[in-house]
Amino acid sequence: MTRRLLIALLLSPLALQAQDTRPVPTQRVGLPLNLTEIYIPGTELKAKPRRDREPPLVVRILEVKPAKDGSRYDFEVQGLEAGRHNLSDYLEPTDGSAAAELPEIPLEITSALPAGLSYPNKIGRGELPKLGGYRTTMTVLGGIWLAGLGAILIWKKKKPADQDQTNTPQASLAERLRPLVDEASKGKLTPDDRARLERLVIGHWRERLPEVAALSPAEAMTKLRTDPQASPLILALERWLHAPSSSTSQAEIEKLLSPYAASI
């Protein structure tokens, strides 16, 4: 018995030394590190959720195998910062119970960069750049062009109606004849105006007198000399042709034009 105790006392420092010298899993920053068959006593565990980018390790549990008084786990770990880490710090019970003290699971993340390098400054919040560029410019110009085209088409479509609404009433035949008759009474009627005056008069009576419609202008004028409504103006024009008079009153002219007042 004494001999066995002595042997145990001699072997225990060797055992502790062997445990302390176990190789620590190591991996470079950013590369996955797989740890398999890691026994952890107690309730089943899960990886703590990452709520920000501060934790230096990204831990995933690949598989959980039941074991006596605990479980065996396969992990995939990705280190974001170089240094020595404890994987147990990134685990918590799946049942939501208070985290028990877990055995240390050391691992080391190394970096190819030399120590002492400073990290880049964090990018602060700022306003996003405004959208722009050739495509946006062409889209805006195309929209403006289409809007202008639509406005022109709508304006042209409404223009006739607007003009109809704003136009003054069309002059009656008497209003169009009045200056010609006035000039004829004074002997100042030009040949063109005389021809225009005769066309207006003959055209008016051709629409109202069927017996005049098929006659030539000369025959129509002859026929109209005997018509009770048309003859006053026809005879007055013939009289003014040979003896123009500046004494013809406006009332006399209006009386001669009265048969034409209702016509356009």
- Is residue 53 a part of any domain in this protein? yes
Q: Provide the whole-model pTM.
A: 0.40
Is 146 inside a domain boundary?
Answer: no
Q: What percent of the chain has pLDDT over 90?
A: 30
pLDDT tier, 1 (very low <50, low <70, confident <90, very high otherwise)? very low
With respect to residue 215, please indicate whether it lies within any of the assigned structural domains.
Answer: yes
User: Over 70: is that where the pLDDT of 38 sits?
Assistant: yes
pLDDT tens per residue, range 68-95 = 999 999 999 999 988 999 999 999 999 8
Structural domain includes residue 213? yes
Q: Please write the tens of the pLDDT for every residue from 143-191.
A: 999 999 999 988 887 766 555 555 667 888 999 999 998 888 888 888 8
Q: Report yes or no on 248 lying in a domain.
A: yes
Last residue of a domain, one of 87, 110, 133: 110
Mean pLDDT of all residues belonging to the chain = 83
Residue whose entry in the numeric block shows the structure tokens 């055992």? 15
Residue 192 lies in a domain: yes
Q: Would you say residue 150 lies in a domain?
A: no
Among 110, 135, 160, the domain-final residue is 110
Identify whether residues 178 and 103 lie together within a single domain. no
Residue 115 has pLDDT above 80, yes or no: no
> What pLDDT score does 186 carry?
86
> 30 lies in a domain?
yes
Are 105 and 182 within one domain? no
Mean pLDDT of 228-234: 89
Q: What is the pLDDT of residue 6?
A: 44
Residues 106 and 180 in one domain: no
The number of distinct structural domains making up the chain is 2
Compare 1 and 134 and report the one with higher pLDDT: 134
pLDDT at 2 > cutoff 70 = no
One domain, residues 31 and 106: yes
For residue 55, the enclosing domain spans: 26-110
